[in-house]
Homo-oligomer: A and B are copies of this chain.
């Protein structure tokens, strides 16, 4: 197999660094990795898994000869540089929201809709973290029973706000006088403590009283499942947890089901692990699943009222499968074809 040249744009961020780690860990068949970031970070040395990367400034020319470019430096950087990279022959796997709802760009979780990789025009979008985690659990249910309704409440880790979000939670715990500056949204006027607290706002407020994060869960899931009719409602909440997002999901299925059938279907799904042994108090918890590649599902039970209603609890590492790992897996799927 031809060894390929890879660029990671946003290499100094939480997701960028995790992509570097995963490329090494998973033996991605690269001949070279360029670590790109803003001018400010150029010249810095990153050490990941014993390998050193000297950060270069992201410029159009930096993508000359690059085969696959992972973009995770924010939506504006993606809008500025994706075309330049594609023009130079790279396939861009974009981790920002810039292209996700663009009709010419496939939005892909390899376990959910790998077929959409076939029609890309140079850019492939990586979905939002909370969307990916939910979609991995919903996909087998959609395939075997059909989804009629989805109602989700999230419990999202501070890593969703990047390294600064994680540092903020640590600072608040260590120093009672620390003044919050990052959460819920760094660019908005008000910031609130997340330690010992919950913030029912992730991203800015958008139409109809929903946040952008809530809209992403709705619209991105519909796009990946090719189901514009799917009735999803989401409430997204930041919690004082470091890296893993958790979600309480209620679904109504189109077909009758038994719990055994549901368990079997979930247990057989790629990238999903059923961790549901309540007699022994076994269920997914975010602290215990840091750095895990799979999505974990538990607390699987029938609604007591609607015979087609089902509740479950799903947890996944936001930086891994919620972002970096899914992007790397998109790259792996492309190479496998």
Contact = CB atoms under 8 A, between A and B. Distances in A.
Contacts of A286: 196-198
A218 to B, nearest CB: 7
A205 B155 contact: no
A148 to B, nearest CB: 10
Contacts of A322: none
Nearest to A309: B233
A199 B285 contact: yes
Interface in A285-301: 285-288, 298-301
Contact of A285 (B200, B248, B278): B200
Max chain B CB contacts within 10 Å: which of A184, A200, A235, A299? A200
Nearest to A238: B285
Contact of A151 (B218, B239, B250): B250
Of the four ranges (under 10, 10 to 19, 20 to 34, 35 or more), the interface on chain A belongs to 35 or more
Contacts of A235: 153, 248, 250, 299, 311, 313
A262 B27 CA distance: 56
A210 B302 CA distance: 9
Nearest to A300: B209
B232 A305 contact: yes
A169 B197 CA distance: 13
B287 A196 contact: yes
Given A196-B287, A313-B200, A248 B239 contact: no
Given A151-B250, A301-B208, A241 B197 contact: yes
A16 interface: no
Counted per complex, copies of this chain come to 2
A119 B304 CA distance: 30
B200 A298 contact: yes
A252 to B, nearest CB: 10
A274 interface: no
A231 B190 contact: no
A281 interface: yes
Interface string A167-195: 00100010000000000100011101100
A242 interface: yes
A210 B301 contact: yes
Given A153-B153, A218-B304, A305-B231, A201 B283 contact: yes
Contacts of A201: 278, 281, 283
B155 A198 contact: yes
Given A196-B286, A233-B311, 5 more contacts: A173-B173, A197-B241, A198-B239, A218-B304, A233-B305
11 contacts: A149-B305, A153-B248, A184-B281, A188-B281, A192-B285, A197-B285, A197-B287, A233-B311, A235-B250, A235-B299, A237-B248
